[in-house]
Structure 1
Amino acid sequence: MQLKDFIDKIEQLPTPDPVVQRIISIASDPNASAKDLADAMRLDPSLTAKVLRLVNSAYYGLPRKIAKLNEAIMILGFKTVRNLALSVFTYKSLTGSRNSKIDQLALWKHFVGVAVAGELLAHMLNYPNREEVFVAGLLHDLGKLALDYISPESFAAVAKVTKTLQISFFEAEAKLNIPQHTATGSLLAERWNLPEIVTQPISGHHDVKSFSDSVYADVVSMVHIADFVVNTFKFGDSYTYGGLKLSPDALNVLAIKPKMLTNYVDKLKERLATAEEFLSIDKAVEV
C-alpha cells in the first residue's frame, strides 16, 4: 500500500464529531470561559457522563466528588477536560473497527500508558504544558489505529513481522512497504485540527534526532521516553516485539541523568495503577 492510497483512505476514518471539535476549539481560545466549554459539552450527555467519571477517578485524586461540569473545568482546566473528551472519542474510534484482528483494548491500554507516562515526566521536569504532553502521548500511535481501521490485514502482517524478526513496528512497516504509522498518524492528527505540539511527537517519537532543532524537541523527547518505558513495562500492547532503543538524544534534550530516570520509572509504576478508569471508559453511566 502506497502512502498516497493510504492518505486517500484516511478520509474514511472517523473524525471528532462537532461537539468534540467545538471542545478542542474552545480549549484553544484564550477568551473562552468555563461556561462556554460546559455549554458545548452538555450537547452530548453521554460524553459529559464519561468525562465526569474520569474527573472523579483515582488518577486525578480530587478530595471530593465533582458532580458539576463547570466545577470540573474550573478545577482541572480547559485543556485537561479537552484531553478527557479526546480520550473518550479515541477510545470509541479504536474499539469501533469490527474487522480488527488485534486486541484493541490492549492497544488502547498502551495509548493510555504513554499518556500517563508522558504527563508524569513533564511534571517531574516542571514542563508547563503537561496537558499537551498527555494528549501527545495518548495519540502517539494514532497511525496504528488508522492502519487497523483501513487495512486490518496489513496491521496483522506488520505485527507478525515484528514478532518473528524481533524488530520494531516502525521497522516492520518499512520492510513491508507500508506507510509508517508516524507519518499517517500525524496526518490524521492534523485532520483533527490538533496543534504542532501534538502532531510533532506523533511524527518523531521514533526519530528524536531529526526533531532536535524543533521548538517541540522536548515534547518529542518526553513522548519517546514514555513510549520506551511503557513498552518495557508491557503495559498494554503496542504490537512491537523488539528493536526499541532509548535515544541518547532524548535524554540529552531533557538533561535527564540515570538517577532521575530510575526515580521516574519507580514513580510511573505507582501512577499507572491509578489509571484504571481510562481503561474502561465504556462503563461510564449513560444519561
Structure 2
Amino acid sequence: MHPHDGLNAWLDRIRDQELPIFGRTAEQIRALTDSDKAAVSQLAEAILHDPGMTAKLLRIANSVIFNTSGLQITTVSRAVVMLGFDMVRQVALSVAFVDALLRGPVRERVLREMARACHAAVQARWLAARRHDNQPEEVFIAALLYRFGEMAFWCFAGEVGDELDEALRRNPKSPGDVEHALLGFHLHQITVALARDWRISPLLQGVLKGDFQKRSREQAVVLGYRLAEAAEGGWYTERARALLKEAAAYLQLPDDDLAEAVMKNAIEAASIADCYGAGAAARFLPQ
C-alpha cells in the first residue's frame, strides 16, 4: 500500500485481506436475532466452535464489569441468560475483533491503542452505571470499539504505518492534520465505515455520528475515551484535571468525589485487557 491510495483502498485491504476472518465471524453472529427461537442455541454453537473465544467470553462475563451478581457463569448458554442475548453477541464480536488484531503484527502503537480502549471502556461503563443507565455494558462495548478502525490500520499498515507513526511523533498535537496530509483521509473514517458496514453496536454508530445530547449514554462513551487519553500524561496534569471536572459535571457530582474512583478504574482496565488476551497492553495503562 502507498500513502495516497485513499480511504476505499485501505477499507478494501482491511476488510478483504487482513480481517476477513473477523468479517465472517461477525456476519455469522450478527445474522442471529433474538426473535429467532433457535437463536440462543445457534449463538452458543457459533461461539463454542471457537474454544479461544469461548474461554475469553466466559472470563469477560465473569469479570466485575459484567457480572454484578457474584454467581459464576460457566456456560455460554448461562451467559445469555445472565447478560442477555444482544450483550453476549456484542461481547463475542468484540472478542473476535481483538483476536483478529492480535494475529497481525502487533506494534507498540497497537498495544497503546488497546490499552486506551480497555481503559476508556471501563471509565465509560462506570460513568453510565453512575447515571443509572439500563445497559452500562453496552456503553462498555461501544467505548472499547470507539477506535477499532484506527487499531486495524495500525496492525496492517506496514511501511505506511511506520511513516505515519514517525510523523505523529514529530507533531503529536495535530494528529488529524498529520493523518490527512499523509493519507488524504482521517483514520477515524475507517472506524465509521467499518462500524456501518459490519453493523457493530448501534450505540457506537450513534456515537460516531456525533449528534447526541449532553449527559447522554453516547457522551459517556466519548468522555470515557477522553479520560483515558488524558490520563496517559498523568492524573495530575492540567488536561486530566479538566477531564475530571467534565466527568463530575456529567454526573452532577463534586470533583473530589470522582478522582479516587476514576483512578481505580485504570487498575480494573488491566484485568479487562488480560481477559481479552491483550495483557501485554497493560503496561501502557496509567498508574
TM-score, scaled relative to structure 1:
0.75
- What amino acid maps onto 1:145 in structure 2? M
- What amino acid maps onto 1:9 in structure 2? R
Aligned equivalents of 2:64 and 2:135: distance in 1? 22
Map 1:11-90 onto structure 2 (within 5 A).
Answer: 11=15, 12-15=17-20, 16=22, 18-26=24-32, 28-32=33-37, 34-59=40-65, 60=67, 62-90=69-97
Alignment of 1:105 onto 2:111: yes
Show the counterpart of 1:282. Answer: 277
Do the aligned partners of residues 73 and 265 (structure 1) sit closer, same or farther apart at CA in structure 2, a change above 3 Å counting? farther
Per the TM alignment, residue 258 of structure 1 is displaced from its structure 2 partner at its CA by 6.8
Alignment of 1:143 onto 2:138: no
Per the TM alignment, residue 276 of structure 1 is displaced from its structure 2 partner at its CA by 3.4
Show the counterpart of 1:130. Answer: 136
3-state SS of paired residue (1:117):
helix
Do the aligned partners of residues 128 and 168 (structure 1) sit closer, same or farther apart at CA in structure 2, a change above 3 Å counting? farther
Mapped contact 1:143–1:180 kept (Cα < 8 A): no
Map 1:70-219 onto structure 2 (within 5 A).
Answer: 70-98=77-105, 101-201=107-207, 203=208, 211-212=210-211, 214=212, 218-219=216-217
Do the aligned partners of residues 215 and 224 (structure 1) sit closer, same or farther apart at CA in structure 2, a change above 3 Å counting? closer
The one of 7, 10, 15 aligned to 1:6: 10
Mapped contact 2:57–2:91 kept (Cα < 8 A): yes
How many pairs are equivalent?
A: 263
Do the aligned partners of residues 39 and 8 (structure 1) sit closer, same or farther apart at CA in structure 2, a change above 3 Å counting? closer
Aligned equivalents of 1:67 and 1:101: distance in 2? 34
Per the TM alignment, residue 218 of structure 1 is displaced from its structure 2 partner at its CA by 3.2
Aligned equivalents of 1:91 and 1:227: distance in 2? 18
Do the aligned partners of residues 269 and 73 (structure 1) sit closer, same or farther apart at CA in structure 2, a change above 3 Å counting? farther
Per the TM alignment, residue 36 of structure 1 is displaced from its structure 2 partner at its CA by 4.3
Aligned equivalents of 2:45 and 2:57: distance in 1? 14
- What amino acid maps onto 2:50 in structure 1? D
Per the TM alignment, residue 58 of structure 1 is displaced from its structure 2 partner at its CA by 4.1
Identity of paired residues, percent?
A: 21
- What amino acid maps onto 2:75 in structure 1? K
Say what the alpha-carbon RMSD is for the aligned residues. Answer: 3.5
- What amino acid maps onto 1:230 in structure 2? A
Mapped contact 1:121–1:264 kept (Cα < 8 A): no
Show the counterpart of 1:208. Answer: none
Do the aligned partners of residues 246 and 25 (structure 1) sit closer, same or farther apart at CA in structure 2, a change above 3 Å counting? farther
The one of 268, 272, 276 aligned to 2:266: 272
Map 1:218-257 onto structure 2 (within 5 A).
Answer: 218-234=216-232, 256=250
Aligned equivalents of 1:19 and 1:257: distance in 2? 37
Task: After superposition, give the CA deviation of every residue in 1:54-95 in whole Å (9 maximum; x if it has no partner).
Answer: 222344355243222222221122233223312321221222
Query: Which structure 1 residue ranges, 5 or more long, are not aligned?
Result: 205-210, 236-242
3-state SS of paired residue (1:48):
helix
Aligned equivalents of 1:156 and 1:261: distance in 2? 40
3-state SS of paired residue (2:18):
coil
Per the TM alignment, residue 146 of structure 1 is displaced from its structure 2 partner at its CA by 2.8
- What amino acid maps onto 2:133 in structure 1? Y
Do the aligned partners of residues 109 and 257 (structure 1) sit closer, same or farther apart at CA in structure 2, a change above 3 Å counting? closer
